[in-house]
Amino acid sequence: MPEETETQRVEHENIAYGTNGLIRCFANRFSYRKPHVHRSIELMYVCKGEADVISKGFTLSLKEGDFAIINSSTPHELISLYSQSCTALFVQLSRNLLDILGLSMTIFDDITVSRESPLMENIKSLLFELTECFFGSEQFDYLICLSKASLLLNLLLTNLSFHTIDDQSGRMKSADERIKKTCKYLDANYNRKVSLEELSKQVYVSPQYLSSLFSEAMGMTIREYIQKARFDHALHLIDYTDESLIDICFDAGFSDYKYMEKCFLKILGCTPNEYRQYSKTIEKPGSVQNKNNEEYIFSREETLSLIKEIKSKE
């Protein structure tokens, strides 16, 4: 494990989804994966070895045959134990899929299932079937893949504890439609200047009351919400277009490039240009040791072979 610095940077992971941009499956043999975050829910099954998943100061210790859930937008790092690499199967369910299923506000409280659990056999079976369909070559394999993902989520939601952000005290309570309407308006207009007075007229309250209500309900100020929306949009454009960084800056609604750069440094610890250069190098099968990561991303054939090997031992 690399030596920790006083201020540890968290990488925003650029995920190349398959299955119409909704799901990604892969196997990874790693010694260390630096702190990173993504908007997907990540499901992790340990195939070989042992590993710690460290998130927000809390450590999950996983052994071969264990299963873990990493909630959306949760910073985490992976460390193999006893100087041995760990091999794990990962399934990442994108924010778009979660939105379609109405689960984007869902947070799992139970985030581990041990190999001794009665649930484990069904979880493992669906994980393997989902991954095999993800890499399948038949015409409608992606539909089967989506159905397996839905079945897996249903199994987890039925048997594990979870809550939605709506359930949390002070967070977007269903009775307060003003906050939801404010968020919807900001989501449609963040790429231009939106005043507090303009917002307050949309929900028929005073600017001061809306500001206080929003901060209490969302855990962030209106300004911070707008900044996050602009950052997410800029990140998407850098990941998936060849637009110049200046054009991306203004498309996302930033007033100037220096402000966007300041936002990137605060959230990711790197400039937009550094992120663009780095994003071109990741998510490819094979050995990866840049940016302090020590991992090997399996190819399609290697992932399917791994699943076959595990099945043969049962």
Amino acid at residue number 93: L
Contact status, residue 77 vs residue 51, Cβ threshold 8 Å = no
Contact status, residue 40 vs residue 12, Cβ threshold 8 Å = no
pLDDT at position 176 = 66
> Which part of the chain has CATH 1.10.10.60?
172-277
pTM over the 0.85 mark: no
We find that the CATH architecture of domain 172-277 is Orthogonal Bundle (1.10)
d(CA 210, CA 52): 42
What pLDDT tens digit does each residue of the chain (314 aa) get?
444 443 344 554 544 445 457 899 999 999 988 777 777 899 999 999 999 998 877 899 999 999 999 998 787 889 998 768 999 999 999 888 888 888 878 889 999 999 999 999 999 999 999 999 999 888 788 889 999 999 999 999 999 999 876 544 444 443 367 888 888 899 899 999 999 999 999 988 899 989 988 887 777 899 988 988 898 888 888 877 889 999 999 999 999 999 999 988 887 778 899 888 866 654 444 544 444 568 899 999 999 999 999 999 87
pLDDT at position 28 = 94
pLDDT at position 156 = 96
> Which part of the chain has CATH 2.60.120.280?
11-165+281-312
The model's pLDDT over 98-148, given as tens digits with 9 standing for 90+, comes to 888 888 788 899 999 999 999 999 999 999 999 999 998 887 888 899 999
d(CA 277, CA 273): 6
pLDDT at position 285 = 47
We find that the CATH architecture of domain 11-165+281-312 is Sandwich (2.60)
d(CA 288, CA 239): 19
pLDDT at position 214 = 85
